Amino acid sequence: MTGVPGPLAPLLADGGAVVLDGGLATELERRGADLTDALWSARLLLDDPGLIAEVHQDYLAAGADVIATASYQASIEGFGRRGLTVPAARDLIRLSAELACDARDRFWEHARGTARPHRPLVAGSIGPYGAALADGSEYRGRYQVSPDALRAFHQPRLEALAAGGVDLLALETFPSAEEAMLVLDLMRGWPEMTAWVSFSTSDEAHVADGQPVEAAVRSVAGQRGVVAVGVNCLPPARVGRLLGRMHRVTDLPLVAYPNSGEDWDAVGRCWVGAAGAIDPPQDVPRWYGLGARLLGGCCRTTPATIRAIRQALSSQIPGASPS
C-alpha cells in the first residue's frame, strides 16, 4: 500500500487504521430532530447547530479519528429555496466546518496526552449533486445535468468548507466517477487539499450509475489529492466483495463505511428492509485484510457502532496500530 500525503499520513503510517464517525442525520433524528425537509441534516445548521456539535463530540468520545461536517446535503440552491441569500448560504456551509473544528478542538483539549496519539481530523463532507435533489438520486446516478451546472453547484461548497478550516474532504456517496472527477478538478484551486472518494453502488460489482467498480476506481485513484477510495451507505453484506474488486486495481488505502443494512425509500422518506448491521468483530478484520484502512459507519449507525469498530481494531488487529 502506497504512502499517503496530507493529514491522514501519520494515522495510516505502518499499517495504521483510521476510525471514521457514523451516521449524522440519522443520529440527529434519533435525538429528536425533525429532518423531514429537503435540507436533511443541513436544516440543523439553521435550527439547532448545538445539536450537531453534540453529535460530533459523542463520535469523538466513541473513538472517531475523523468527523465529517454537516454539509453533505447543504448547497447554495437548497438554502436559496428556504429564502436565504447566497452570502448567507455560504456562511452556513462554512459554519458546518467551524462547528466540527470547534468540537474537535474542545475534545482534543482534554484528550491530549491520553492514549489518543493523534489529534482527530475534520473532513468536509461533499455530497453529490443528486443528494441536494432529495429524491434518492445519489443512489441511482445518471441525473441529466451539464458539467458546467455541476461545477457551479460544487464550487461554492468547496470554497466555504476550505474557508471553514477543514483538514481534508470526503467526496461521499458519489454515484459516478464522472462527477467525482469534476470535483477533483475543482480541488486544484486548493493544491494542498486532499480527499477520499467513496461511491454509492448498485450491486457487488458496479457503482450506482452502472459503471464497473474497477473502472470507477481506476478513474479517480490516480488523480491529484486522492488519498483513499471506497464505498459508503451500502449494506454491510455487500462491502467485502466490492473491496476485493477495488483492492485488485489500486494500492491506495480503501474506505468502507456502510449503513445499517436497510434501503432508503426516497418517496416514502423512510428506511425499509431487514437490517443487517455491521458486526465489528467479524467484519472489521475481514475488511482490513482486503485493504480497508478507513472504517466507520453511515446512515443509522451510532456512536455505539463506532466504539465497537475501534474496539475491534484494537483487539482483533493488534498490528493495525489504530490511532
Kindly provide the residue ranges of all beta strands, DSSP E only, lying in 147-258, ordered along the sequence. 168-174, 195-199, 226-232, 254-257
* pLDDT of 207 higher than 70: yes
Percentage helix, strand, coil for the chain under 3-state DSSP, each rounded to 5:
45, 15, 40
Report yes or no on 116 lying in a domain. Answer: yes
Q: What does 11-29 look like in DSSP terms, one character per residue?
A: HHGGG--EEB---SHHHHH
Report yes or no on 258 lying in a domain. Answer: yes
Q: Are 288 and 43 in contact (CB under 8 A)?
A: no
Note the pLDDT of residue 259: 93
Q: What's the mean pLDDT in 283-303?
A: 96
Note the pLDDT of residue 316: 80
Q: Are 216 and 199 in contact (CB under 8 A)?
A: yes
Report yes or no on 195 lying in a domain. Answer: yes
Residue ranges of alpha helices (H) inside 187-295 are 213-221, 236-247, 280-289
* pLDDT of 118 higher than 60: yes
Helix (H, G, I), strand (E, B) or coil at 226: strand
Band the pLDDT of 273: cuts 50, 70, 90.
low
The domain that holds 103 is classified in CATH as 3.20.20.330
Would you state the cell numbers that stand for residue 130, as one nine-digit string? 443528486
Residue 36: give the domain boundaries. 9-318
Report yes or no on 272 lying in a domain. Answer: yes
Note the pLDDT of residue 62: 96
Report yes or no on 171 lying in a domain. Answer: yes
**Total domain count, the chain:** 1
* pLDDT of 91 higher than 80: yes
Total length of the chain = 323
pTM (predicted TM-score): 0.93
Over residues 209-257, the pLDDT tens digits come to 999 999 999 999 999 999 999 999 999 999 999 999 999 999 999 999 9
Kind of pairing between the strands at 254-257 and 263-265: unpaired
Over residues 137-194, the pLDDT tens digits come to 777 777 788 999 999 999 999 999 999 999 999 999 999 999 999 999 999 999 999 9
pLDDT cut 90: percent of the chain above it: 72
